[in-house]
Amino acid sequence: AGQNRRVSANEPSWTKNYQPGVPAEIDLPDEPLTAMFERSCHLGGRGTALEFFGARTSYARLGDQVARVAEGLRKLGVHPGDRVALVLPNCPQHVVAFYAVLRLGAIVVEHNPLYTAAELGRMVADHGARVAIAWDAAAAKLDGLVETVVAVNLLDAMPRLKRAALALPLPALKKARAKLHAPAPGSLTWAKLVSSRRLKASHPRPRPADLAVVQYTSGTTGAFRGAMLTHRNLYANALQGAAWMKDAVDGRETIYAVLPMFHAFGMTLYLTFGILKRGHLVLFPTFDVDMVLDVARRRPPTVYCAVPPIYERTARRARQRKIDLTSAKFCISGAMRLSDPVVELWESVSGGFLVEGYGLTEASPVALGNPFWPTRRTGTIGVPFPSTLMRVVDPEDPTREVSQGEPGELLLHGPQVFSGYWNDPDASAAALLPGGWLRTGDIVTVDADGFATVVDRLKEIIVTNGFNVSPSEVEEVLAGAPGVSACAVVGIPKPNGDERVVAAIVPEPGHPLDPDALRSFCHESLAGYKVPRRFVEVDELPTSMLGKVLRRQVRDQVAERLAA
């Protein structure tokens, strides 16, 4: 067991549980995120920045491609402050596009490429991007939504031999190729964009306070809103992560990008922290446990951050295949509760602690974490990161702090806290209290040593496989389904801490419940992870005196029915 870190008089008491050497405060340079990127590309030189199905991109080449794509976007009329939609899985083009947009002083808006056209349409109508850079298989969904679509063929980023193999006229290879590529007629190609001249070095750079990303979330509000994250927010969170993983060595770590970069957690882990550390980023467009372990045989991971189900599947399959994962020393779990059995399983095959962290999009996203030290406490979300403060307050009166150990709403303050919601000043004012304190909507208890545990949520968001699902969004779709008189959507806990999306349905008279038809109806408008896994028939929905559906009572009612 390690000894507690020494704490100076002006530091929060919880820093005594930090790993020795982790600072209470980070030094945040007065420069934009793009300055960090350019420095990493210069220092990284010929070292590998990105690996994709075996094809490698050096840091020097990455910097060159960003300068070229930035010039191509400038010629398309992208100006500072313009929004550019990215609709991409994890691939080298995603990293290039992200920094090319930022280099122009424009704003990245990340989107899940599996979103339906209707979901993308709602977001684009809100943020107003005129240009989108999209995986060609998803490009058709943007027809009529933006002026220009730059279509990205993932096959172009693969090694030549692999591309040639996928071109063979064999059924299995045709199927694999179809998963990665689809023609996008009428779109501008990525190849044309990346063949541009380099952007002039004298082109104006963004400022630290400028908006960098609008990240859509159902977050603290339960509604679909775009969290505004500045260069300073994202840079700060990358530096906080680097301080937390103090033993990670610049230019020496192999980081597996198994979480999507269009998600806030993946964005920070790979696009900001990974580049800051000049890591060797191995990009996976989707999580495939055998694909991950095939790479691990020749290039073992040292940083493997994921969600509990991924840790569990990776550990079990690694045991079956007898693949060594002891290289994985830095492992942070997020998005859902981390259980003791998963920790024990993972640590039996890996080379370091598996610790749980806590974040939300509005905090760029990471705010608390368990230390990489024997002081960590599984089952808690840890203690605040460097330069981060927390308070626990009465949710009905956020000016009143509750007593230690008493449940209350978690408030956060730090350089990673967002500046508000895009086009929504009312929601921004509700989420941000005077002094910049963020209302998380999570109810926690904090013990005498500063470790926080989530015990409830004020918000009714469902967390499934690490993604947030707004019940209201799913209910709006279901309300339009034939035969549905009323509905309520809730999250039912699973043993691993995840939740499954379940819909309680009051059918119209003479219309028996048809789960398959409802599921197909939902798939037309919703990404797959939002579609209810179960449909439960009920006679009526419990409501308040004002007629509002009481989702907590619905959840209890549905849970009892499913258990029976």
Residue percentage of the chain with pLDDT more than 90: 81
Q: What confidence score (pLDDT) does residue 546 get?
A: 55
How far apart are alpha carbons 490 and 39 in whole angstroms? 46
Greater model confidence, 361 or 224:
361
- Half-sphere exposure in the Cβ direction for 309 (13 Å, CA): 16
Task: Report pLDDT digits (tens) over 508-545.
Answer: 999 999 999 999 999 999 999 999 999 999 999 987 65
Task: Report pLDDT digits (tens) over 30-56.
Answer: 999 999 999 999 999 999 999 999 999
User: 299: burial class by Cβ within 10 Å (0-12, 13-18, 19+)?
Assistant: middle
How does 497-506 read in b/e, with b if 16+ C-beta sit within 10 Å?
bbbbbbbbbe
Q: What confidence score (pLDDT) does residue 1 get?
A: 43
Q: What confidence score (pLDDT) does residue 509 get?
A: 93
Mean pLDDT, range 360-383, rounded to an integer: 96
Instruction: Output the DSSP codes for 367-432.
Output: EEE--SSTT--TTS-BEEPTT-EEEEEETTEEEEEPPTTS-EEEEEESTTS---BTT-HHHHHHHE
Note if the bond before 365 is cis, omega within 30 degrees.
Answer: yes
How far apart are alpha carbons 497 and 493 in whole angstroms? 6
Task: Report pLDDT digits (tens) over 327-339.
Answer: 999 999 988 888 8
Residue percentage of the chain with pLDDT more than 70: 96
Picking from 52, 420, 104, the residue whose alpha carbon sits closest to that of residue 261 is 52
Q: What confidence score (pLDDT) does residue 297 get?
A: 97
Q: What confidence score (pLDDT) does residue 8 get?
A: 73
Task: Report pLDDT digits (tens) over 248-298.
Answer: 999 999 999 999 999 999 999 999 999 999 999 999 999 999 999 999 999
| 236 C-beta neighbours (distance < 10 Å), count | 25
Task: Report pLDDT digits (tens) over 459-499.
Answer: 778 888 888 888 888 988 999 999 999 999 999 988 877 89
Q: Are 208 and 187 in contact (CB under 8 A)?
A: no
How far apart are alpha carbons 322 and 508 in whole angstroms? 55
Task: Report pLDDT digits (tens) over 116-165.
Answer: 999 999 999 999 999 999 999 999 999 999 999 999 999 999 888 877 77
Angle, helices 308-321 vs 340-349, to 10°: value is: 40
For the cut 80, the answer to whether the pLDDT of residue 4 exceeds it is no
For the cut 80, the answer to whether the pLDDT of residue 223 exceeds it is no
For the cut 90, the answer to whether the pLDDT of residue 549 exceeds it is no
Q: What confidence score (pLDDT) does residue 168 get?
A: 66
Q: What confidence score (pLDDT) does residue 449 get?
A: 94
Mean pLDDT, range 60-87, rounded to an integer: 98
Q: What confidence score (pLDDT) does residue 174 get?
A: 64
For the cut 60, the answer to whether the pLDDT of residue 220 exceeds it is no
